[in-house]
Amino acid sequence: MIERMIARDNLLLDTPYIRRWRDEGFQDGFQDGLEEGREEGFDKGLKKGSLIARRRSLLEVLAKRFEPPFPLYQEIEEDLSTITNERKLKTLLTTAIQSEDLTAFKNVMDNL
């Protein structure tokens, strides 16, 4: 508002006071934006790490229980890499633990 009044009245815009005022406002906005960006990045990293951990746990269970051939293991790993819903991965982990065989697990995974 003050800036508009100064511009409207053709007052000098480059005074030391105005420069300091702009610099402080810029720095405050920059710091706020930086902090906001860090928090957002941290949250995204946390979510990504959680998804990776769930996928790894699921693959470990499948490998230990069913000892799938390597090409099938890679196929399942690739399919899991597209799932970004934590609830689905949790359901698949429970399914991997409870399934009688790998075919039963794959049927659930394909229909989820």
Q: Tell me, what's the pLDDT at 9?
A: 59
**CA pair distance 112, 106, nearest whole angstrom:** 10
**CA pair distance 98, 48, nearest whole angstrom:** 26
pTM over cut 0.85: no
**CA pair distance 75, 8, nearest whole angstrom:** 67
Determine contact, residues 21/53, Cβ cutoff 8 Å.
no
> pLDDT truncated to tens, each residue of the chain (112 aa)?
666 665 665 555 566 766 776 667 666 666 777 788 888 888 888 899 999 999 999 999 999 999 999 999 999 999 999 999 999 999 999 999 999 999 999 999 999 8
Q: Tell me, what's the pLDDT at 11?
A: 57
Q: Tell me, what's the pLDDT at 77?
A: 95
**CA pair distance 56, 68, nearest whole angstrom:** 15
**CA pair distance 81, 52, nearest whole angstrom:** 8
Cα→Cα distances 9→2, 3, 92, Å: 11, 10, 68
Strand ranges (DSSP E) for 1-112?
Answer: none
